[in-house]
Amino acid sequence: MDTNQVQTLIAMIFVLGTLVLLVLPSVIGIVRDRRVDRQIREAQEAREGVAAQKSSSRSTVPSTATWYAEGRRSKKLVSS
């Protein structure tokens, strides 16, 4: 290798090193954001699991639409 090739190699290594230093903070931020998103998603899933168990143990009151529909069904049975 002559002097020109060595200088070119050094310049390429310098440029690649500079590129890595510029991109590295962004990559670290992306990895951190994904980890936080995963933790938030897991916490929401855990909270929904607990809420689903609590809601199934409570007694339910039928909605107005259900009450109205049941009343109309019974009237049809009586009249026919």
Per-residue pLDDT of 33-80, as tens digits, reads 999 999 999 999 998 887 665 555 556 666 666 656 666 655 555 555
Token pair listed for 48: 């929904």
Asked if residue 7 belongs to a domain, the reply is: no
Give how far Cα 1 sits from Cα of 9, 13, 37, 76, Å. Answer: 10, 16, 50, 99
pLDDT of residue 58: 57
Report the distance separating Cα 33 and Cα 35, nearest Å: 5
SS3 14: helix
Total of domains in the chain: 1
User: Containing domain of residue 37, as a range?
Assistant: 23-55
- Residue 33 placed within a domain: yes
Examine residue 1 and state whether it is found in any structural domain, yes or no.
no
Tell whether 67 is covered by a domain. Answer: no
**Domain contains 78:** no
pTM of the model: 0.49
Look at residue 38 and tell me if it is in a domain: yes
Q: What pLDDT score does 74 carry?
A: 57
Higher pLDDT residue, 21 or 80? 21
Residue 44 in domain: yes
Q: Residue 62 in 3-state DSSP?
A: coil
